[in-house]
Amino acid sequence: MLYDLIRPLLFRLDAERAHETAISGAQFVAHHPWLAELIRDNLSNPARNEKTVAGLKFPNPIGLAAGMDKNAVAPLAWWAFGFGFMELGTVTPLPQPGKPRPRMFRYPDRRAIVNRMGFNNAGAQAVARHLAWQRQIGLRPPCPIGLSVGKNGLTPAENAADDYRIATQALAPFADYIAINVSSPNTAGLRRLQAGDEIRRILQATRRATGTKPVFVKIAPELEEPEVRELLEVCLSEGASGIIATNTLATANMQGLPEGGLSGYPLRDRALDLVGLVRNVAGDQIALIGCGGIDDADSAQRMFDAGADLVQLYTGLVYRGPFLPARISRELALRDRR
């Protein structure tokens, strides 16, 4: 109800300015543990529905997708709002500003967002220092944190594995798992890294840098079955722990939309199909996080029914408010008890 009052004010701002305002509010919560606990215990009240996936214990299976908190400034706030885990980033070895504004666009009638941010972030060393500070003063939430890593836009494809290794070396001490982002449509040539020897080299470099911590690979919704099979074969042979399906849908050939990546409701069916395909091909050999168009308990349940172990959301927060993950967790727990 509170968000219903605030949302019209946020929607008067352009999409990125509203995003920055939301991040500032979340950062304020994250810097005051007493406030985070108050919100978690008295406002969000998520159900405790523990799951163990890839050797990690999750208090509930609803996670924050990468892209919301690129610089890892507010993890305690996401826990306060009811998430069972969060994926922060994407973080590149060197800081970069991303693409020129405007680069984020809302489509309320479609419950969708298009973004072409281009991995704007403060860089791996700065994010690592911030995470170290959070740990030192007790601002780390009591749930798993994933860190998404990517390559810098100016790094040539032949050096991509080095970028993933460098970013992972800086961030792995503060991550419960690492997510390899090779599927954003907003970095030129990035999606070609999902294939064959390219993803093999990246996985090998990243796994050496993580030690025993799980590594997930985030894939594009446009992948066809032969490409998924090839990628899964490499992931399994190189010891990847899981797949995240999916990233945003490229809008390059979509009439009436700016170039970028489409997220939210229009992505739902494709994400479901890809989750089902990954589960069918890999069986129980790999963990699976479903992401795309989740904005209520029904859409989350469909993703679990398709084979996901965990789910992530981001765009749903924009249209449904910050307590969406807690609401979904409660509704799913209620169904399980029936």
Residues belonging to the active site? 184
Pick the closest to residue 295 from 263, 317, 311, 310 (CA basis): 317
For residues 4 and 29, give the distance between their C-alpha atoms in angstroms, rounded to a whole number.
20
Residue 96 carries which DSSP code? B
Could you tell me if 88 and 70 are in contact, meaning their C-beta atoms sit under 8 angstroms apart? Answer: yes
| DSSP characters over 166-185 | HHHHHHGGG-SEEEEE---T
For residues 328 and 45, give the distance between their C-alpha atoms in angstroms, rounded to a whole number.
11
For residues 316 and 325, give the distance between their C-alpha atoms in angstroms, rounded to a whole number.
9
Residue 102 carries which DSSP code? P
| Cis peptide bond upstream of 315, omega within 30 | no
Pick the closest to residue 85 from 49, 59, 66 (CA basis): 59
Kindly tell me the burial class for residue 2, based on how many C-beta atoms sit within 10 Å of its own C-beta (0-12, 13-18, 19 or more). Answer: exposed
